[in-house]
Copies of this chain bind each other. A is one copy, B any other.
Amino acid sequence: MIRETHITLAHGSGGRATRDLIQHLFLEHFSNPQLAALEDYATIGWPPGSNSRLVFSTDSYVVKPIIFPGGDIGRLAVHGTVNDVAMSGARPLCISAGFILEEGLAIDVLRRIVQSMAAAARSANVTIVTGDTKVVERGSGDKIFINTSGIGIIESAVALSMTKIVPGDKVILSGTIGDHGTAILIARGELAIESDIESDTACLSGLVKAIIDMTVSSNAVDAIRLMRDPTRGGLATVLNEIASGANCHIKIDEERIPLRPDVAGACELLGLDPLYVANEGKLVVVVAPELAEQVVHAMRQHPLGRESAVIGEIQHEPHGFVAMRTAFGGSRIVDMLSGDQLPRIC
């Protein structure tokens, strides 16, 4: 049920309100199996009727500020959609770019963002093949919003799905959490904090390829159950989506979750729980226990996976929940985010 009568910032937070809006409005009217899977992408048999599969994903980017330590809205828009496509196990091929510009945006700023998109696309090995530009009057937008949609192709037998997750499976995380969201909040300059924290925005398709290649050569493609990038709503939101979607319990271990000391410090100052803070270059993999060690090993060979570690396990009960063994040896429930922790983080 949607309790509110009007859209609030919480509807864009990636948490409970976003989920309610998706389930009780978009899914109700757009109902079809691809959307109902609640993944960040759709899988389409291509050419129709063949076994070959194409992946399609979309995301709009409204991050504020548009230029921040470690990146800008253009770089983020390329990486974000390429990553959503890659989470299916696909190789991203091409993306679209739709711009909504506010009257008065400096052409030099636009040029810088476009150059940054072009560079990000080159290094992600995708082509920006089609686009669109709209302009809205001053005060009807906020400098620049970018939509990117992406197409990829699944070249292996990999078929990831919530439904494959079973108790005993391991949860692997590729690196530190909270870097992107913390960098954005500090860059807004509303809080007088100085730091060297940069967004972790990065293209994850190389890391995904390393994982898929390893499982293909081990003849164990089915051992990879699901991949997700913990963006808006952070690690906690992705784990809750998995616990709820796979109807399982997830137990994670706080001490095993990599966290930069300066991000930990900034989150404490800002009153944020890093578990809920957005990442833009991290990967969560759910994998069969017998392959977990090999997957971690393969991930650590990749520059974006150096700190990969098993951070938890899928258990049977109490299903639908995520629990965390804290650094002090206690246990706490890691719930879905209710309010709007961080608007316009991506």
**A residues touching B (Cβ–Cβ < 8 Å)?**
2, 4-13, 18, 21-22, 25-26, 29-30, 32, 34-35, 40-42, 44, 46-48, 50, 52, 54, 56-62, 64, 93-94, 96-108, 110-111, 114-115, 117-118, 121, 127-137, 139-142, 145, 147, 149, 151, 153, 343-344, 346
Contacts of A32 in B (CB 8 A): 127-129
- Asked if A129 contacts B7 (CB within 8 A), the reply is no
- Asked if A127 contacts B34 (CB within 8 A), the reply is yes
Grouping DSSP codes into helix (H, G, I), strand (E, B) and loop, the A interface class, with mixed when no group exceeds half, is mixed
- Asked if B12 contacts A133 (CB within 8 A), the reply is yes
| Distance of A93 Cα from B54 Cα, bound (Å) | 12
- Asked if A56 contacts B139 (CB within 8 A), the reply is no
21 contacts between A and B (CB under 8 A): A6-B103, A6-B107, A9-B135, A22-B131, A25-B111, A30-B114, A35-B129, A35-B130, A44-B129, A46-B93, A46-B153, A56-B130, A58-B149, A59-B98, A60-B132, A60-B134, A62-B140, A100-B100, A134-B346, A141-B141, A141-B145
Known: A54-B151, A100-B100; 6 extra A-B contacts, CB below 8 A, are A11-B133, A44-B93, A57-B96, A98-B149, A134-B145, A139-B139
Contacts of A50 in B (CB 8 A): 47
- Asked if B62 contacts A25 (CB within 8 A), the reply is no
| Distance of A121 Cα from B29 Cα, bound (Å) | 11
- Asked if B118 contacts A30 (CB within 8 A), the reply is yes
| Distance of A63 Cα from B344 Cα, bound (Å) | 23
- Asked if B30 contacts A131 (CB within 8 A), the reply is yes
Copies in the assembly, this chain = 2
Smallest Cβ distance from A147 to chain B, in angstroms? 4
Q: A12 and B135 in contact (CB under 8 A), knowing A102-B7, A129-B32?
A: yes
Q: A140 and B142 in contact (CB under 8 A), knowing A30-B97, A147-B98, A149-B58?
A: yes
| Distance of A50 Cα from B48 Cα, bound (Å) | 14
Q: A6 and B104 in contact (CB under 8 A), knowing A29-B118, A34-B130, A344-B136?
A: yes
- From A21, A32, A129, residue with most partner B Cβ within 10 Å: A129
User: When A and B form their complex, which 3 residue pairs have the shortest distance between CB atoms, in order from nearest?
Assistant: A12-B135, A149-B149, A42-B129
Smallest Cβ distance from A232 to chain B, in angstroms? 9
A22's partner among B94, B108, B133 (CB-CB below 8 A) is B133
Q: A98 and B129 in contact (CB under 8 A), knowing A137-B9, A142-B136?
A: no
A110's partner among B25, B110, B142, B343 (CB-CB below 8 A) is B25
